Structure 1
Amino acid sequence: MKRMLLPMLLFAAVIMTGCAYEYVEEDGYRMAVINEGFPVPKNAYELKPEDCTTEIAKSAKYKLKGIGDEEGTPPEDYLEEIQSWGWTELEEKRVGHVHYFEKEGKIMSLIIQKNVFDVFEMSDGLEL
């Protein structure tokens, strides 16, 4: 019986880990690590972010299965959640799968790819 316990525990751990990082609206949202006022899905796994540049003040990268499709289209309910937190999408500035949002003079950029997304806080005074 003891011989079976360890393989069963390992199998259960692998199954639970594989399911933990998938986009499900019902799991809710939390604050992004770079901006407390910008939501990210609660079960998104943080990865090593991209380097900052003169245009980007802060960055965060997340892995989350099902967050975007091949074209980088985010789930509509995620965009609605961002707006419910007070952010306005700058739709005229959207380029492909790069979305820009503004709130109280801050501009955030959201780049959605298949199973990965980046959140950038743009530098103050940046003209888009």
Structure 2
Amino acid sequence: MKQLLALLAVMSILVLTGCSNVYSQEDGYRMAIINQGFPVPKEAYEVKAEDCVGEISKSAKYKLKGIGDSEGNPPDHYLRTIEEWGWTEMMEDRRGSIHFYEKQGKIISLNIKENVFDVFEMTSATES
């Protein structure tokens, strides 16, 4: 009986370890909770978002291993997917790891850090 319980415990640990949330372009994307037209990786899970202040009308915070390197650079595939979903990057407004995108009058700010990222819907155009 003890051996069976030990085996079940080991198997549970292996299953949980194998299901960790890590960025993979093969897993695909889903809609962000704050904007139905903005993609986030399917494996990302939401954590408590920042309070909305100033130019930010809505915010969502996600955790996902491998979404950004130590300098906040996101995977190229993710950036291409955002553009494939119809968003245009506002290059002149980019601030380090913070990217701004526009689509049909909506502005989204994407702030990527190592293993975490924020998605903000802005109330108005950004100021450079």
Q: TM-score, length-normalised on structure 2?
A: 0.91
Aligned partners of 1:61 and 1:85: how far apart in 2?
20
Where structure 1 has 5 or more consecutive residues not aligned to the other structure, the ranges are none
CA 9–41 in structure 1, closer or farther in 2 if over 3 Å, else same: same
Gaps of 5+ in 2: none
Runs of 4+ in 1 over 4 A off after TM superposition: none
Within 5 Å, which residues of 2 pair with 1:1-128? Answer: 1-17=3-19, 19=20, 21-123=21-123, 125-128=124-127
Q: Distance in 2 between matches of 1:90 and 1:69?
A: 22
Deviation at 1:7, TM superposition (A): 1.4
Deviations 1:43-87 (A, max 9, x none): 101110000013100000000000001110011110100000000
Query: What does the per-residue CA deviation read over 1:81-122, in whole Å, with 9 as the maximum and x for residues that have no partner?
Result: 000000000001001100000000000000000000000000
Equivalent pairs: percent with the same residue? 57
- Whole-angstrom CA distance in 2 between matches of 1:15 and 1:54: 40
- Displacement of 1:127 after TM fit? 4.2
Equivalent pairs counted in the alignment come to 125
